[in-house]
Amino acid sequence: MKFVSVLLIPAVIFLSLAAYAQETPPPPFKGEAEAGAILITGNSDSENYAAKAKASYQQEKNIYSTFGQYIRTEANNVESARNWNFGVRYDRELTDYLGVFASQKVESDVFAGYTQRDSTDIGLKYWLTKGDKFNWSTEAGYRYSKQQNVSIGTSYDQMLRLYTEINTQIDKAFSFRYWLEYLPNMTNPDGYQVNTEASINVMLNSIFSLKLAYLLQYQNEPPPPGEYDTTTTTLNLVAKF
């Protein structure tokens, strides 16, 4: 039950901030948190936890953001999934459609073959379309990665990063998001990666919504004992403020 308590902490904080925001002028601050948990006891015992949060602060043309995620699955005291990530990012708007960014991310997924991966990104961001109901953006940049593998030591990679994201508001209650990331490896051409996610969000009220997401992560040359691809399907309660 300690994991349930951990997952409830972000929701309590976000609800408190939302209540405070109703009493004061809204600051240039945006946040979102999502969490889900499934507990089964009896003939078999299983625990599934998922939590994700992100927040951003805009000061004129500068945007500072942070994000994090945690997933854990256990059945009959046997752990089958445990991964997490945390990162910070800085964006600078040059024009209405063009900007630059830099970010630092740390992540771990022992079942994918690595205990820790540190990634540093720099690049350009360009909006192909920007509107109230439909947004399409692309990013291109450079990534330096240090990966501490489970069984084959530490690897260092220089990569290119190509990314695109589409957000569309279907109606007042439904929205759709899709993103695709391709990472060609300049150090080891066979070690490229592809990540993609599609999600749909159903609004319950002005603060809460339900989010169904499907994530695919592919490593063409995974470190042992990792697999080539990993898929994650989540259904979480989301709070925005």
**What pLDDT shows up at residue 24?**
52
Tell me the C-alpha to C-alpha distance, in Å, between residue 147 and each of 164, 169, 184, 196, 203: 24, 37, 16, 21, 38
Q: Which residues contact 36 (CB under 8 A, 6 or more apart)?
A: 48, 49, 50, 51, 234, 235, 236, 237
**What pLDDT shows up at residue 75?**
85
Residue 237: which region, alpha, beta or left (left: phi > 0; alpha: psi -120 to 50)?
A: beta
User: What percent of the chain stands above pLDDT 90?
Assistant: 72
**What pLDDT shows up at residue 26?**
53
- Average pLDDT on 44-55 reads 90
**What pLDDT shows up at residue 20?**
46
- Average pLDDT on 30-47 reads 85
Q: Which residues contact 172 (CB under 8 A, 6 or more apart)?
A: 203
Give the CATH H-level superfamily of domain 2-240.
monomeric porin ompg (2.40.160.40)
pTM over 0.75: yes
User: What percent of the chain stands above pLDDT 70?
Assistant: 88
**pLDDT band with cut points at 50, 70 and 90 for residue 6:** very low
What residue ranges do the domains of the chain occupy? 2-240
Q: Is the pLDDT of residue 8 over 50?
A: no
> What are the tens digits of pLDDT across the range 50-99?
999 999 999 999 999 999 999 999 988 888 889 999 999 999 999 999 99
